[in-house]
Amino acid sequence: MSAALSLDAWKSQAATLAYRNQAFIGGKYVPAASGKTFDCVNPATGQVLTQVAACDQEDVDRAVKAARAAFEKGTWSRMAGAERKKILQKFADLIDKHSTELALLETLDMGKPIRDSSKIDVPLSAGCIRWYAEAIDKVYDEIAPTGPEAISLIRREPLGVVAAVVPWNFPLLMSSWKIGPALATGNSFILKPAEQSPLTGIRIAELASEAGIPDGVFNVVPGFGETAGQALGRHMDVDCIAFTGSTEVGKYFLKYSGESNMKRVSLECGGKSPNIIMADAPDLDAAATAAAWGIFFNQGEVCNAGSRLIVEESVKDRVLEKVFAVGKKLQPGDPLDPKTGLGAMVDKTQMERVLGYIDAGKKEGAKLVFGGNRVRQEAGGYYIEPTVFDGVSNKMKIAQEEIFGPVLSTITFKDADEAVKIGNDTIYGLAAAVWTKDITKAFKASAALRAGVVWVNCFDNGSITSPFGGFKQSGFGRDKSLHAMEKYTELKATWIHIGN
Ligand code: NAD
C-alpha cells in the first residue's frame, strides 16, 4: 500500500519514474504536430521533471477526428451499458493498481502532499469511475404519460464528442468527475489537462486503452489554454465542453461556444465560500478545526475553500485560537514526506499571486494575525505558510476575490441574518457552511445561502452520491451523482402514434 511508504521510499520511487509526456490520440501516444514541448516543473523544487507535448489547433483537430470516428463507429457509443460497465470497472481497477505511481506523479507535478494524493486523489478518482460504471446499467429512461393514442419514449442519448478542460488543483480527480459520467453514457472524450499538471491525465490514457476502451474514445491533448483549450472551445465538431477552472476562463468558453457551433458548455468555476460559525455551534473546537482545514487543505488551492470565516463576535477569539493551533502544526514541508500536511503552491506565478493578496490585505487595513510569508525558499520551491487575517470587512479585496491559497479572512457578525447577508455578498456561490445546534436557524440559513452545496455542522463533507457545483458566477451544471449524466446526454422524445 502506497500510504505506508516512507519519505526515502517515495524518493527512490520518484528517481526511477518514467514520464509519459505526449498527447494520446486515436489509441496511441504521439508528439505535438508542431514538435513543440513545454517544461513540466516540480513546484516543490523548481526543477524540470520532463518536457510535455504542447498541443495546438492541429492536434486538437486530430483528436476530434479520432473521437468523432470512434463515436460514429459505435463500438463504444452503442455498446450495451452492461459491457461498458465491465470495461470502465477494469479502468478503475487499473487506476487502483497503479495508485503508487499515480499518487507520485500527482505530487511531483502539482506539489500536494503525498499523503493526500495517495489517500484522497487517486482512490477517489478510481471510485468515481467505478461508481458511474456501476450506475450505467441501472438507469432507466422514461415513458411520458400521454393518452392511449400514443407512446412517447423519452430517452437519453450520448452527445458525441465531449471535451473536458480541467484545472491543476485536483488534476486526476477533476478529470475523473467528467470521465466517469461522460464515458459511461457512451460519449467519446478528449481531456485537456492544465499545463501546470498534465502528467496523471496523460498516464491514465494508456490505462484506459489497456482496460479495453476502444481507440479514439479516450484522447488527451496537453497544452496551454490559449492554444489547445481555445481550439477545443471553438471547434465546430466538439459537442460539449465540460469546464472546471476560473470564472474568468469559464466566461471565455461561453463566448467560444457562441462564436462557433453553440456547443453545450458546463462550468464549474471559482468560489469564495463563507464558513459561518454561530456562538451556539454544537462543538466550537470541532468547528474551528474544520475551519482551519477548510482553508489550509491542499494549500488552500480548493474551489470550495472556506476562505471567509464568518464568525459570531462573542466566540471569535476562541475560534481563532484553535485555527492558529492547527495552522502551527501545518507548516509547509516536502510534499513527498508522508508526514507533510501542507505542500508547495502549484507554481511561482500562483505563489506570487497569493503573496500579492496578502500584501493587499495589509494595505486595506486587515490585521495579519498569523503567517503571511513565503517559506522553505532553500528547497527551491514555492511555499506559503498558513495565513490568517482578522478584522476583515467583506468589501475588501481579500474578502471578495478568490485567492486560491492558504489565506483565511475573518469577518464577524452579530446575528444570523447579518451572517447570511455577508455570506451571500460576493459574485460566487459554490459552497457555504453554517454551524449551529439550532435546527431552525440552520435550516433558514441553509435555505437563504445562495450556494450549490451548504454544509451544516461540518465542512467539505460529501461523497460521489451528492451533486457538486455552483450558483451565480461559480458556474452551472453539476459534477458527481446521477445528475452529472444529464450534462453528457441529449434528451430525445420519440412519439409513436398508435391510435386511429
Ligand atoms: P484556469 O481557469 O486558469 O484554467 C483552467 C483550464 O482552462 C486549464 O486547463 C487552462 O489551460 C484552461 N485555459 C486557461 N485559459 C484558457 C483560455 N483562454 N481558453 C481556453 N482554455 C483556457 O484555472 P486554474 O488556475 O487551472 O484553476 C483554478 C480555478 O479552478 C479556481 O478558480 C478554482 O476555483 C477553479 N476550480 C473550480 C472547481 C469546481 O468544481 N467549481 C474545482 C476545482 C477548481
Summarised one tens digit per residue, pLDDT across range 316-369 is 999 999 999 999 999 999 999 999 999 999 999 999 999 999 999 999 999 999
The Cα–Cα gap between 197 and 193 comes to 7
Spot the catalytic one: 303, 312, 385, 402. Answer: 303
Encoded amino acid at 328, one letter: K
Helix, strand or coil, per DSSP, at residue 174 = helix
Give residue-wise pLDDT tens across range 148-180: 999 999 999 999 999 999 999 999 999 999 999
Distance 4 CA to ligand 1 centre (A): 33
CB of 244 closer than 6 angstroms to any ligand 1 atom: yes
Mutate to test the pocket of ligand 1, among 303, 350, 353 (most ligand atoms within 8 A of CB): 303
Residue with cell 499518487: 103
The confidence score (pLDDT) of residue 2 equals: 47
Residues of the chain with pLDDT under 50: 1-3
Closest CA to 184 of 65, 68, 92: 92
* CA 313, chain centre distance (Å): 33
Distance 121 CA to ligand 1 centre (A): 18
Distance 245 CA to ligand 1 centre (A): 2
Which amino acid residue places its CA nearest to atom 16 of ligand 1?
225
* Active-site annotation holds for 240: no
Mutate to test the pocket of ligand 1, among 169, 428, 472, 481 (most ligand atoms within 8 A of CB): 169
Distance 28 CA to ligand 1 centre (A): 27
CB of 99 closer than 6 angstroms to any ligand 1 atom: no
* Active-site annotation holds for 268: yes
Burial bucket for residue 309 (CB in 10 Å: 0-12, 13-18, 19+): buried
CB of 60 closer than 6 angstroms to any ligand 1 atom: no
Residue 495 φ/ψ, nearest 5 degrees: -95, 115
For residue 270, the ligand 1 atom closest to its alpha carbon is: 34
Spot the catalytic one: 106, 195, 268, 301. Answer: 268
